[in-house]
Amino acid sequence: MTDTADIGPEDFDPTDTTPTPAGWMTSEEIAAARAQLPIVYVDAIPVRVDDSGDVVAVGLLLRVNAEGQMTRALVSGRVMYHERIRDALLRHIEKDLGSVALPQIPASPQPFTVAEYFPTPGITPFHDPRQHAVSLAYVVPVTGDCQPQQHSLDLAWLTPEEACEDTVMVEMHGGQGALLRQAMAHVGRLG
């Protein structure tokens, strides 16, 4: 599931405190459009790398959902009207990891994959009951101090091998566990 798994479908991204510039849709208008159009998203997998660029840790956000379950999530969010993908990546990483995370946004717009979140389960590995989201996915090294923001309880750093374990997978929702494994495959560190 894209965005925070603990947020109900009637409530669009209340954690997003970015002021809405003139011309951007209100939450209500987006709620209507998202029932009828695919919505552009980005997914970021925050990682720590060593001097050779090898991934040594993956950052996962810990949250408690409406049912009181502990869940883990990637950095994820919508691309806004007139916003570049790279700016959306930067905005969502700062929103979730803080303003001094110092992410290395990729120079190339080529994502490592595209996650297609469908409102109907089973069409792809990705599912979001609220909408059809087409999410461009990137691995993003962060070099600064990362702090969980807003609704997140914690930010846990796992080794690539730990991050791919089944015990982690069951705590991720909407296919983000599969996306995390795809990311580790892309960096050559699939457990």
Site residues (CB under 8 A) for a copy of itself? 23-25, 29-30, 33, 35-40, 47, 49, 51-55, 79-87, 89-90, 104-114, 116, 118-120, 123-125, 132, 134, 136, 139, 141, 178, 181-182, 185-188, 190
Q: How far apart are CB 116 and a copy of itself at their closest, in Å? A: 6
Comparing C-alpha atoms, which of 106, 167, 159 is closest to residue 137?
106
Of 62 and 85, which has the nearer Cβ to a copy of itself?
85
Of 66 and 107, which has the nearer Cβ to a copy of itself?
107
Q: How far apart are CB 98 and a copy of itself at their closest, in Å? A: 15
E strand intervals along the chain: 39-49, 55-64, 70-73, 75-78, 113-118, 126-127, 133-141, 154-158
Q: How far apart are CB 111 and a copy of itself at their closest, in Å? A: 7
Of 69 and 143, which has the nearer Cβ to a copy of itself?
143
Q: How far apart are CB 134 and a copy of itself at their closest, in Å? A: 5
In the chain, where does DSSP find H-type helix?
Answer: 27-33, 85-97, 160-163, 166-169, 176-186
Of 116 and 171, which has the nearer Cβ to a copy of itself?
116
Comparing C-alpha atoms, which of 185, 187, 190, 165 is closest to residue 72?
165
Neighbours of 61 (CB within 10 A): 23
DSSP β-bridge partners for residue 142: 103
Of 156 and 187, which has the nearer Cβ to a copy of itself?
187
